[in-house]
Amino acid sequence: MDKDSAAIQKKLQAELEQFQAGQKDFSKLVQQRQILEGQLNENKCVLEELDLLKSENLVYKLYGPVLVKQDLQEARQNVGKRMEYIKKELKRCNDTLETLEKKQDKHRESLQKLQQQYQVAVAMK
């Protein structure tokens, strides 16, 4: 193997490692997004149930092993705030995924170019 093909192979390996690291990050973010979407759906269901209640109904919140009486309006506000937070986290996660996807596309292009250069360098020997 000559110097050119060895150098190209080294660049190819480094690019491939970056691409694989990006794939791992992407996979983790997809899992995180799925968890957040599940939490958002759960909270939507809770809010729907709370909206069915009348002001005279009792609401309890679980704190560890203890159920503590909670004001209905306060419970609705807490669930609403939790949903806002989850939506912000989902947006952040989606934005990061989009950025990472663009990065991965650049790595793919670079990998293809390096593979072509390597094939040309090997064929010229």
Sign of CA dihedral 79, 82, 88, 93: negative
Range of the domain at 100: 3-124
Give me the pLDDT at residue 125, please: 65
Give me the pLDDT at residue 120, please: 83
Give me the pLDDT at residue 73, please: 94
Give me the pLDDT at residue 60, please: 94
27-51 pLDDT, tens digit per residue, is 999 999 999 999 999 999 999 999 9
The enclosing domain of 62 has a CATH number of 1.10.287.370
Total-model pTM: 0.81
Query: What's CA 54's distance to the chain center, in Å?
Result: 38
The total number of structural domains in the chain stands at 1
Q: Given the DSSP bridges, would you call strands 59-63 and 66-70 parallel, antiparallel or unpaired?
A: antiparallel
Regions of the chain short of the pLDDT cut 50 = none
